Amino acid sequence: MNLTGNKLDGKAALITGGASGIGLAIAETFVSEGAKVVLADLNTELMEAAEKKFGDACATIQTNVTKEADVVKAVALAVERFGKLDVAVNSAGLGSYTIITEMEEQQWDSIVDVCLKGVFFSMKHEGIQMTKQGSGVIINISSLNSIQSGEGSGAYCASKAGVNMLTKVGAMEMGPSKVRVCGIAPGLVFTPITEPIKSMPALHNAYLENIPLGREGTTDDIASAALFLASDDASWISGETLFVDGGAQTKRYPEFRKIFAEMG
């Protein structure tokens, strides 16, 4: 077990969706533990801010994870800039509230393409590089919704369930090359995407009532889990998705339609 406080010293990491929210928190933790990071995101303004914050420990590249060529370039940048790719965190994602019978094809495609196809493209090319090296760790950011259904979240739930299975298949296929593939499934964590929940007390309270530990998670909670899985402390863990949800999987998801109806 590494007790030096530099669990990722000398490691090179790629983080998709790394300019904000969970991805940025993971980047901050990785850099604090000695890693160099490449942030792959669409938001150039936020990436510029991250570069200023992290200095030489950070490189950025505008990346649309639904475009395979973009993902290829992001992996290549990590190797070009830092000589290798030790850790990859696939954090890019999005969601919306629309029930299945009202969902348009374009909306379905936009969510599934980012949350599932984007993870596939990322795993594919991260895995190619890591297989060449004979080592590496891939961490897919899944969700509590991969096992717990949420009204109005059909595309998101289906995508994240798919991510869990990609994690298992990836671990099976890449294990012989000494590449570990793991997942993290967060419960409610406030990020720029989920922040509006705070403005709806009825919805926020419904979430909290179904979290045994009685609080929402923080991006640091997820970053700590990512650090563990990326480090040698987790050297015999692969194919597993770690649920970081305050115990919410033991209860139920908020009834959105009922809550929204009561809110008017």
For residue 191, the tally of other CB atoms under 10 A from its CB is: 18
Calpha distance 120→117 (Å, rounded): 5
Calpha distance 15→24 (Å, rounded): 8
- Alpha helix segments (H runs only) across the chain: 21-32, 44-54, 68-82, 105-112, 118-133, 154-174, 201-209, 219-230, 256-263
The active-site residue out of 97, 156, 207, 253 is 156
Calpha distance 27→42 (Å, rounded): 16
Is 156 an annotated catalytic residue?
yes
- Pull the structure tokens for residue 39: 């942030």
In this structure, is the dihedral angle defined by the CA atoms of residues 261, 186, 76 and 127, taken in order, positive or negative? negative
Can you say whether residue 17 is alpha, beta or left, with left for phi > 0 and alpha for psi between -120 and 50 degrees? left
Q: Which residues contact 4 (CB under 8 A, 6 or more apart)?
A: none
Q: Are 232 and 7 in contact (CB under 8 A)?
A: yes
Looking only at the bridges linking them, the beta strands covering 179-186 and 136-141 are parallel
- Least Cα distance to 156 among 119, 122, 201 occurs for 119
Which residues are known catalytic residues? 156
